[in-house]
């Protein structure tokens, strides 16, 4: 069964304090790993898709990386507006196309 585990559950950072969020996964035949950002009261917003180990994607202060077992979302010099819940999801070849989501990491960045 495909599984996604995110850690930590919650993370508090000072503005400018860089850190990383972890997403560990088990999936049969990874077709894609996805990162989303979710603000309170809103739907998840797509950030990145990674398709193969070694791939990296960047957007502003965020950088996502992928290995065969896990993905990291690195946040460099975060700002208060980066505060949100970050969700990781996988699409495996054996699950007919649906995304399996992790529980998310809630990030709070204090000024």
Partner 1 sequence: DAGVIQSPRHEVTEMGQEVTLRCKPISGHDYLFWYRQTMMRGLELLIYFNNNVPIDDSGMPEDRFSAKMPNASFSTLKIQPSEPRDSAVYFCASSLKTYYGYTFGSGTRLTVV
Question: Quick one: which of 43, 54, 81, 111 contacts partner 1 (CB under 8 A)?
Answer: 43
Question: Quick one: which of 24, 49, 76, 83 contacts partner 1 (CB under 8 A)?
Answer: 49
Q: Which two tokens stand for residue 40?
A: 């309170």
Of 74-103, binders to partner 1 (CB under 8 A) are 87, 89, 91, 96-103
Query: Using CB under 8 A as the criterion, which residues of the chain lie in contact with partner 1 when the complex forms?
Result: 31-32, 34, 36, 41-46, 49, 51, 87, 89, 91, 96-104
């Amino acid at each position: 069964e495909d599984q996604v585990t995110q850690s930590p559950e919650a993370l508090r950072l000072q503005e400018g304090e860089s850190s990383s969020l972890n997403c560990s996964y088990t999936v049969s035949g990874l077709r894609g790993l996805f990162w989303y950002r979710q603000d309170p009261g809103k739907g998840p917003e797509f950030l990145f898709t990674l398709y193969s180990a070694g791939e990296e994607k960047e957007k502003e202060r965020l950088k996502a990386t992928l290995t065969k077992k896990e993905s990291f979302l690195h946040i460099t010099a975060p700002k208060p507006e980066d505060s949100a819940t970050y969700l990781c999801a996988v699409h495996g070849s054996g699950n007919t196309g649906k995304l399996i989501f992790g529980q998310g990491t809630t990030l709070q960045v204090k000024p």
